[in-house]
Structure 1
Amino acid sequence: MASEYTTSEYIKHHLTNARMCTSDDGIVFNKACEDAGFWVWHVDTLGWSIGLGLLFLWLFRSVAKKATTGVPSKTQAFVELVVDFVNENVTSTFHGRSSLIAPLALTIFVWVLLMNLMDLVPVDVLPMIAGAIGEYGFGMDPHDVYMKAVPTTDLNLTFALAIGVFFLIIYYSLKMKGIGGFAKELTMQPFGHWAFIPVNFILETVTLLARPLSLALRLFGNLYASELIFILIATIGLFQLPLHFAWAVFHILVLPLQAFIFMMLTIVYLSLASEDH
């Protein structure tokens, strides 16, 4: 597939999302959405993220339904290992009381990990399949068919995850401290004198907003850079396989690490928000 494009066109094609938007002509796709403004749906990001989320729910639910107290299957043992791992981290890190945190942490870790693992699929496979479906199923030019299969390389998705965590931070802060306590936390720290209220408010607001911003940009930056390296390796052509597998082996360590960091920072932020002192 790389031979059909120049190197810059090939990279741009692989880094472009499949877009859908509405116009005067109804629902349009891809290039027709270039001037659509803000309301553009990245259908590949939505499709893969929702599909992998459903896969996570189906897998863990099916294992839970078939769980046995005897000798567990390999799948049950793996799921129990993941659940115990997440539970240990929640127990040691979250100092409040909430029945939501452990399931939330498990969901974040497994869902983000599954989305990250899509980075190990060779970069040409899914775009070629999408291009063939577009060409033979809908009569489209395959060059106009886009497919980004790694949802976490889309800044829209990482920000959506981070904003969800941010809303939970605000919710737990108000729930544990009340409106007055939360306001006092924003205005009377780190300097406990009324004269420093404007300075405190600016510092604490920046700190509060930096949490979702760092969550989103850290995950996006690491996965985007890794995906870009896979794409650059693919431009080599026939000699790409050794480099692809070498980078993939190293990448196997990076993908769970990024999911773990996102989960741990979420737990830490919610723990800080739940402290009532």
Structure 2
Amino acid sequence: MASEITSQEYIIHHLTNATMCTTDSGIAFNKACADAGFWTWHIDTLGWSIGLGILFLWFFRSIAKKATSGVPSKTQAFIEMVVDFVDSNVRDTFHGKNKLIAPLGLTIFVWVFLMNLMDLVPVDLLPWIAGQIGYVGFGVDPHDVYMKVVPTTDLNMTFALALGVFFLIIFYSIKVKGIGGFMKELTFQPFNHWAFIPVNFILETVTLLAKPMSLALRLFGNLYAGELIFILMAMLGLWQLPLHFPWAVFHILVIVLQAFIFMMLTVVYLSMAHEDH
């Protein structure tokens, strides 16, 4: 593909989502959705994220059903290590009482990790397969078929995850502290005096809104940058091989670290929401 189009077109093609929208004439895809307005769906992001979520649920459930109290299999031992790792970090960080937090932390860690892991798939492989399916099955030019396979390189996905966490923060802040306690937290911190209520409210509101913003942008920025480097390497052809392997090894640390950071910040924010002093 890189030899058939310019470098700029090659990069843009790999960084463009497959989109679907509704227009006056019916359902449209990709370039026809350029002027569709707000309701445009990134179907590749939705497909890969939902598919990886189902894979996570199926895999963990199948291992749990086969679990034994005797000598565990290697797969069971690995799953137990992951669960113990998440559980120990939640116990050390979360100081409230809520049975949701540990399963939520495990779900976030594994799901974000699987979405990040798609970054290690060769950048041309799945888009090429999608292009061939579009050409053979629907007669569409392969260059007009888009497939962005790393959901966390889509800002819509990372913001959706962050907004889910944000709603949980608001929900538990009100549930634990009450509406009055939550508003008092926004208006009497950090300066505990009525004269500073406007200043406190502005500072605390900015702090509150910064939580989902930082979650979304941190995850998106790291994975987007990593994917862009893989795309630039792919443009080198066979010369990419000496560079691809060391970068992929380093990127394994990045994808694990970003999943861990997202999980830990979520647990920390929810722990703060449960503090009622």
User: Which TM-score band (shorter chain)?
Assistant: over 0.9
Deviations 1:136-179 (A, max 9, x none): 01110100000000000000000000000000000110011000
Match of residue 79 from structure 2 = 79
The correspondence of residues 116-265 of structure 1 with structure 2, limited to 5 A, is 116-265=116-265
Tell me by how many angstroms 1:58 deviates.
0.3
Q: Once the 2 structures are TM-superposed, how far is the Cα of residue 37 of structure 1 from its aligned partner?
A: 1.3
The separation in 1 between residues aligned to 2:67 and 2:54, in whole angstroms, is 20
In structure 1, runs of 5+ residues without a counterpart are: none
Secondary structure, in 3 states, of the residue corresponding to 2:237? coil
Q: After TM superposition, give the deviation of residue 238 of structure 1 in Å.
A: 1.9
Name the SS for the 2:131 alignment partner. helix
Deviates more, 1:242-251 or 1:221-230: 242-251
Distance apart, 1:237 and its partner CA: 1.3
Q: Tell me what 1:11 maps to.
A: 11
Tell me, in whole angstroms, the C-alpha distance in 2 between the residues paired with 1:110 and 1:26.
Answer: 37
Instruction: Measure the CA separation in 2 of the matches of 1:117 and 1:5.
Output: 28
Report the counterpart of residue 33 of structure 1 in structure 2.
33
1:20 equivalent in structure 2: 20
For 1:57, the equivalent position in structure 2 comes to 57
SS at structure 2 position matched to 1:28:
strand
Alpha-carbon deviation of 1:51? 0.3
Structure 2 gap segments, 5+ residues each: none
Aligned residue in 1 for 2:95: 95
- Equivalent-residue separation in structure 1 for 2:244 and 2:2 (angstroms): 15
Equivalent-residue separation in structure 2 for 1:244 and 1:47 (angstroms):
27
Please give the TM-score of this superposition, normalised by the length of structure 1.
Answer: 0.99
Q: Distance in 2 between matches of 1:74 and 1:44?
A: 33
**One-letter amino acid of the structure 2 residue matched with residue 237 of structure 1:** G
- AA matched with 1:13: H
Distance in 2 of aligned mates of 1:186 and 1:4: 57
CA distance in 1, matches of 2:32, 2:203: 43
Write the deviation string for residues 173-232 of structure 1: whole angstroms up to 9, x where unpaired.
Answer: 001100000000000000011000000000000000000000000000000000000000
Q: Secondary structure at the match of 2:238?
A: coil
| Separation (CA, whole Å) in 2 of partners of 1:248 and 1:25 | 44
Read off the aligned partner of 1:276 and give its amino acid letter. D
Q: Which amino acid aligns with 2:268?
A: V
- What SS does structure 1 have at the residue aligned with 2:27? strand
The sequence identity of aligned pairs, in percent, is: 81
Amino acid at match of 1:252: I
Shift of 1:241: 1.6
SS in 2 for 1:148: coil
Distance of 2:52 and 2:242 partners within structure 1: 28
CA RMSD of aligned residues (A): 0.5
Distance 1:199 1:256 in 2: 39
Counterpart of 1:98, as a letter, is N
Q: Distance in 2 between matches of 1:35 and 1:268?
A: 40
1:5 CA displacement:
1.2
Q: CA separation in 1, counterparts of 2:173 and 2:24?
A: 44
Aligned positions, number: 277
SS in 1 for 2:22: strand
Distance 1:179 1:249 in 2: 48
